[in-house]
């Protein structure tokens, strides 16, 4: 850290003078450097300005290298995406055939509907918004039946009972925490005083009950007299994964697919765009056209609509799925399917180039509540000692994990193009720069 100048009388510099000194070492806007200088002088510690400026720069949104082995790491933005825009205006709400105002949902909705085998589809801000909009549009002032075992809280304090309450509907608990049968739903529908508008089936994410358990599958719930809407959570489009060469990965065996859920009789499915779909943060609602229309006409639909970059990204991803090029064009599927042999080869090159660490087999996980409990064989580099902070403070931060006083760099979640970043970060730790 460079010393801050003081005058001959020992007085601290002016705010402006201190900000100009900071500008010699930081590229932050002048207004931010002035704020750092002002706060440091107010604390009677001008030397603190350097740290304040450095901390502010490090707090800004930026690219990092995910070396944690968690493919969909919520703290790291979940699915990694690339958005390509030309800096021009777009036909977001312009009907190119008529020249009149159109809907931002039309094109992407048609693509997603085709992908899911649905009549219609729309995109909203996130999956919580999808659930909220569906319940508000279809069950406001009425009852929604949910199994007690699915009345869960997932990340970010997203609680099913509270979402239903905010929608204006009333929650009807069905069955027990560990066992809910079809007759439990039928009893709730038949009970005098209930006015059940729909049955909501919820993916429990990371919550699991094991042992003496039973739930009711969609194909049985579809026999009820009210629509069944399913929050499948993680956004697997088709559990046969036709966009991949070979068989469906074993770690996806128990993950529900949107296409299969609709084929089993669900009226609507809701899922996240930034999980197994491999896209930006958003939520998708797909299914019956009349129910989708009710959602689009609800006042909340405008508040929950996505912006142009989200629409553009989802359109590109849907085209990749439909074109069977998802495994190469979508970053999530690329890193999820790379072979362990390839990872080991990369790890060996990194160890050799960095002159530190050793190659090790390890397990990655899907993350973000997707395929809970699943493990994906992987490989990477391990170093004795805790180097999380040093790696995180590298010019391009490398986010790793520590266990038993060892630092693990899992290469399944590192793009091959970023191996050079990992090498540079490890060489810095090893004093080779």
pLDDT in the model for residue 7: 52
Comparing CA positions, the residue from 83, 84, 32, 81 lying closest to residue 58 is: 32
What digits encode the pLDDT tens for the residues 254-304? 889 999 999 999 999 999 999 999 999 999 999 999 999 999 999 999 999
| Tokens 């730790």, residue located | 429
pLDDT in the model for residue 149: 87
* 150 has a pLDDT exceeding 90: no
What digits encode the pLDDT tens for the residues 199-252? 999 987 666 667 777 889 999 999 999 999 999 988 899 999 999 987 889 999
* 384 has a pLDDT exceeding 90: yes
* 164 has a pLDDT exceeding 60: yes
Q: Residues 326, 333: contact at Cβ < 8 Å?
A: yes
Give mean pLDDT, residues 91-111.
94
Give mean pLDDT, residues 112-121.
98
pLDDT in the model for residue 155: 63
Q: By three-state DSSP, how is residue 105 classified?
A: coil
Burial profile 105-135: b = 16 or more Cβ within 10 angstroms, e = fewer: bebbbebbbebbbbebbbbbbbbbbbbbbbb
What digits encode the pLDDT tens for the residues 10-19? 677 899 999 9
* Separation of alpha carbons 285 and 270, rounded Å: 5
Can you give the pTM of this predicted structure?
0.91
Please list the alpha-helical segments (H only) found in 151-257. 160-167, 182-190, 218-221
pLDDT in the model for residue 117: 97
Please list the alpha-helical segments (H only) found in 74-223. 106-116, 127-139, 160-167, 182-190, 218-221
Give mean pLDDT, residues 152-160.
73
Comparing CA positions, the residue from 162, 173, 112 lying closest to residue 135 is: 162
pLDDT in the model for residue 207: 64
* Structural element, H or E, at residue 153: strand 153-154
* Separation of alpha carbons 74 and 68, rounded Å: 12
Phi and psi (nearest 5°) for 411? -80, -10
Comparing CA positions, the residue from 329, 360, 330 lying closest to residue 346 is: 360
- Alpha carbons within 13 angstroms on the beta-carbon side of residue 106 total 11
Phi and psi (nearest 5°) for 133? -65, -45
Comparing CA positions, the residue from 167, 365, 143, 356 lying closest to residue 270 is: 167
pLDDT in the model for residue 156: 61
pLDDT in the model for residue 432: 54
* 1 has a pLDDT exceeding 60: no
pLDDT in the model for residue 8: 47
What digits encode the pLDDT tens for the residues 366-378? 998 888 888 999 9
pLDDT in the model for residue 159: 83
Query: Which residues have CB under 8 Å from 190's CB, separation 6+?
Result: none
What digits encode the pLDDT tens for the residues 27-79? 999 999 999 999 999 999 999 999 999 999 999 999 999 999 999 999 999 99
């Amino acid at each position: 850290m460079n010393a801050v100048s003081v005058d001959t009388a020992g007085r601290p510099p002016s705010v402006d003078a201190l900000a100009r000194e900071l500008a010699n070492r930081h590229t932050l806007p002048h207004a931010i450097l002035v704020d750092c200088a002002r706060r440091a002088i107010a604390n009677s510690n001008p030397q603190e300005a350097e740290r304040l400026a450095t901390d502010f720069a490090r707090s800004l949104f930026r690219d990092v290298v995910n070396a944690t082995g968690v493919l969909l790491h919520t703290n790291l933005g979940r699915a990694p995406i690339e958005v390509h825009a030309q800096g021009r205006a777009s036909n977001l709400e312009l009907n190119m055939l008529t020249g009149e105002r159109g809907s931002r949902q039309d094109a992407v909705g048609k693509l997603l509907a085709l992908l899911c085998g649905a009549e219609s589809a729309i995109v909203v801000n996130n999956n919580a918004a999808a659930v909220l909009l569906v319940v508000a549009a279809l069950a406001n002032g009425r009852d929604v039946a949910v199994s007690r075992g699915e009345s869960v809280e997932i990340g970010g304090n997203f609680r099913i009972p509270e979402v239903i309450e905010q929608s204006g509907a009333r929650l009807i608990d069905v069955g027990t925490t560990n066992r809910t049968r079809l007759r439990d739903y039928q009893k709730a529908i038949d009970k005098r005083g209930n006015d059940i508008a729909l049955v909501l089936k919820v993916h429990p994410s990371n919550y699991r009950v094991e042992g003496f358990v039973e739930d009711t599958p969609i194909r049985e719930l579809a026999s009820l007299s009210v629509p069944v809407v399913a929050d499948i959570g993680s956004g697997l489009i088709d559990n046969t994964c036709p966009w991949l060469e070979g068989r469906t990965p074993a770690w996806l065996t128990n993950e529900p697919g949107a296409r299969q859920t609709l084929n089993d009789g669900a009226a609507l499915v809701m899922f996240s765009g930034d999980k197994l779909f491999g896209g930006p943060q958003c939520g998708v609602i797909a299914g019956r056209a009349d129910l989708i229309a009710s959602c689009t006409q609800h006042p909340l639909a405008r508040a929950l609509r996505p912006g142009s970059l989200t629409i553009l990204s989802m359109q590109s991803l849907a085209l990749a799925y439909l074109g069977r090029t998802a495994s190469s064009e979508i970053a999530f599927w690329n890193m999820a399917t790379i072979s362990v042999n390839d990872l080991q080869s990369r790890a060996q090159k990194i160890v050799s180039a960095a002159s530190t660490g050793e190659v090790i087999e390890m397990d990655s996980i899907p993350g973000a509540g997707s395929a809970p409990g699943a493990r994906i064989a992987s490989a990477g580099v391990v170093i004795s000692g805790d180097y999380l902070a040093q790696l995180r403070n590298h010019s391009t931060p490398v986010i790793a994990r520590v266990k038993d006083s060892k630092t693990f760099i899992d290469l399944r979640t590192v793009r091959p193009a970023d191996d050079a970043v990992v090498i540079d970060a490890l060489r810095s730790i090893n004093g080779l720069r």
